[in-house]
Amino acid sequence: MTASFTLLLFGATGDLSRRMLLPSLFGLDADGLLPEQLRIVGTARSTLDAAGFRGIAGEALERFVEPERRGGDKVVRFLDRLAYVPLDASEPAAYGTLAQAVGDTRGGLSIFLSTAPSLFEPTIAGLSASGLACSSTRLALEKPLGTDLASSRAVNDAVASAFPEERTFRIDHYLGKETVQNLIALRFGNALFEPLWNASGISHVQITVAETVGLEGRAGYYDGVGALRDMLQNHMLQLLALVAMEPPSRFDATSVRDEKVKVLRSLRPIDRASVASHSVTGQYGAGAVGGQPVPGYADELGRASDTETFVALKAHVDNWRWKGVPFYLRTGKRLPARCSEIVVQFKAVPHSIFGDAQLSANRLVIRLQPEENIRLLMMAKQPGLDREGLRLREVPLDLGLANAFADVRRRIAYERLLLDLIEGDPTLFVRRDEVEAQWAWIDAIRDGWAATGMTPKPYGAGSWGPSAAIGLTERDGVSWHD
């Protein structure tokens, strides 16, 4: 595909745009990575002109981009690319004006939709009617894409009526994170792991995405959605798919997504019969995070709610490679630390010549944030004369990405994704069959919760979730890696 010459940003004055999209586009521009001719047309409901939008963008850059990266005429040059058209997205007639402002689309148009789900369908209808959904237009969609399989299908059908799948770019910003791509490099760029990367070599996998933040003023979106649908349905299942997939034959959109979807379809349903033993949900009460007292979820919300702010699951991938290997997943808000990591726990040596007490089985810890690193925990001999036998200790073999690549700037996940969109590479975007497999699995869990009357258990803000989450792994003799 060829690069687009226009990027149309819906929701251009919103939070995502200010915090992530505009700073990312600026970062790409400052490094000379955007096509010379690229114009960025912002649109949102606010009645602004181009100067007003440039003002908002300038403030966003000041707030979210380090001063040393804003030197010279970089900011002015970037702001020059920006135009703005106010739009009531629910009003079909308004799209004519938008189309006029976008102008000639023959050079290629990329559209980034980050709007309320209720506006998806009218927006797509408006884009079609005004000729903006032409054969060279690509459409990127930010979540939430539905709240269950049925509503996600409705969104996907509406999108498909105007954009074929190869020009539909569903965003999961976790796929734009460096360490997530590094997982692919680690697995398929090294011969070392693959022979052990299966049920013979691995005893279990843990995926944790822990956040310290609470509602962050997002009650309107978050309440009624909850951790399962906000984080697990998308980001965490994508991580699981990357850990569990078979080696794709190439690093391209079809090969990688074909392998991920096979994993997602192989997830063993957690249904009414197993939901009580395989899932735990929680909601934070008052507590303290980082030494600061914080209110409970219901207090932040101003009323009682049964939305879960924590979820832990024990999942299985039912195929030959992963037979009998549990994947423990957990995510929550107001946990003690911000930390996302994947832990691959290898099996113990078959026989210890040193006495069992001394040996810990190898473990690979892939840390996505706050810092990016990959550590392989190994046993090594403690220095000494060993009059009473060799003494061993677990030490990390540290891939120290921060040091190895110290001269390379860490980019925001959206930089990679926006550039891929503009250049037309869908490898790191989620295909329809993947999203639908994700929803099908999540819907069964929610159905199980409803049928068995499961409601979130309270946990104190600043703790690792309800104690039942500890029980979920300890029953199997496994501890969470905190």
By the criterion CB under 6 A, which residues form the site for ligand BG6?
211, 230-231, 340
Please, which residue, 368 or 376, has the CB nearer to ligand BG6? 368
Give dist(CA 183, CA 107) in Å, integer: 35
Do the strands 392-398 and 373-381 form a parallel or antiparallel pair, or are they unpaired? antiparallel
Which residues are CB-contacts of 30 (< 8 A; sequence separation ≥ 6)?
69, 74, 78
Please, which residue, 231 or 267, has the CB nearer to ligand BG6? 231
Q: Which amino acid is at 73?
A: D
Residues recognised as catalytic: 235
Tell me how far CA of residue 91 lies from CA of 111, 122, 127, in angstroms: 18, 8, 11
CB of 441 vs ligand BG6, minimal distance in Å: 18
Q: Is residue 22 exposed (0-12), middle (13-18) or buried (19+ Cβ within 10 Å)?
A: buried
To the nearest 10°, the Cα dihedral for 68, 73, 74, 76?
A: 120
CB of 165 vs ligand BG6, minimal distance in Å: 23
CB of 132 vs ligand BG6, minimal distance in Å: 27
Please, which residue, 83 or 227, has the CB nearer to ligand BG6? 227
CB of 184 vs ligand BG6, minimal distance in Å: 18
CB of 19 vs ligand BG6, minimal distance in Å: 10
Please, which residue, 15 or 386, has the CB nearer to ligand BG6? 15
272: left (phi over 0), alpha (psi -120 to 50) or beta: alpha
Please, which residue, 182 or 340, has the CB nearer to ligand BG6? 340
CB of 179 vs ligand BG6, minimal distance in Å: 11
Q: Which amino acid is at 390?
A: L
CB of 183 vs ligand BG6, minimal distance in Å: 15
Please, which residue, 302 or 370, has the CB nearer to ligand BG6? 370
Q: Is residue 51 exposed (0-12), middle (13-18) or buried (19+ Cβ within 10 Å)?
A: exposed
Please, which residue, 252 or 371, has the CB nearer to ligand BG6? 371
